[in-house]
Structure 1
């Protein structure tokens, strides 16, 4: 059955002006026209228009509706539910910050910065931040880029719906750190040699495992007299001199560990450094405690 635009408006409760606008904007499929140029709508147009009206009533914008085409209503509603849940989570976080701010007698600039950051760092912005971090630090070495891509979602966990001030501040510091070009460049430069040669990477894994085992089995403090013999064995295992190791530690960016401490705070868990990080910390302390001893 064919309808004039006036009749379609009567049947659907949508004004003639709105129907014409939807047709012109591509939200409603273009109707055929009579020889005189009048629009003629079909039952398909009527069903589609009612779907568009439903989607508008639940809050979808025209750009979204246009991009969805003629998908089943259930699929459209599922997409909208995801959007609503994301908005609710963001609103809950904002509410938490506002409540904490209002509990203070004298709100500060830091409180305003938290609110501003929450408003500008939605999921899309977070995804772009992580993508750019992986691309910049990956630096053209495929193995490193893939490793970072696999770690991508771990580096910026979702804030709880009602975060504590500590969690929020850690999350904001984390986003700032991930966006820092100097931090990114340091990570890339310091890991170039590590990732450039696959065989060297395998050798590093074996050597590091042996070092972790040696230090762990010894069970002595790095500043104790017993540490000297353990240190000598570690230097022999790694094939690096005291000066070479000290140079590595001097060039190391402590923000790399800070990143994972922040991740733990956001997650509400206790930071547990990996065994290799604990071994490196022991090695650095032992080296700096006895700098004058021969290798």
Structure 2
């Protein structure tokens, strides 16, 4: 297995952003090639379908879908990707797709998130303050969507409904674009199934300092879900999720090989020899 240094992930992400900004039309490569590569590197193999139709959300109706709003091109492209691991292995993601996208505030009362406040960093006060939701956490504790005022863009920014320090519902920036969101979603989900894994409930400041010394940030915004605020760091054949919010684990390390996690443990000055778990995907192979 060829070693892959995820310390370069931010570099690859910037290259993809630049190619997309330059208008590259190489089969959507600028938007989706990094996602395809990442999935392949961690062991996901496409099922071989040529196109995936977006499932219609039975909860969505005429009252919570504004058909006058465009659906961003990148969202349609994602559903049609031959390498769409969500369409193939949705159970690995533990999220619910919302198709067609529904608006918040939800006139039916089903969706709990509200609109953007008059003063916000995403749209002007005289623009549409609604948010179009296209993905939700399993229990709808968090929802991900884009500003309705930006629905005409191919790649609008993606927002997440979360709670601030005072417990108030707010919309925060989750990803700079739709395609980057789906890459980010794959980073949060697929290694947990395909990688060698070790979890630490609490880590010392020395371990956190070691992460910053030996690894590099992936360049993605903090992942917000169920109170967590998770940053991802990368190195040779490893990705580490460091959560500074709520959750059962402060640190989860993923390795493409068991040896990669052992090397990382040595650098961090910890002993993971008894705590490294084999990939869940190995059970499927068995």
Range class of TM-score, shorter chain: under 0.3
Bigger RCO of structures 1 and 2 (CA < 8 A, at least 6 apart): 2
Structure with the larger helix share? 1
| TM-score of the superposed pair, with normalisation by structure 2 | 0.26
Structure having the larger proportion of residues in strand: 2
- TM-score normalized by the length of structure 1: 0.25
Report the structure number with the largest CA radius of gyration. 1
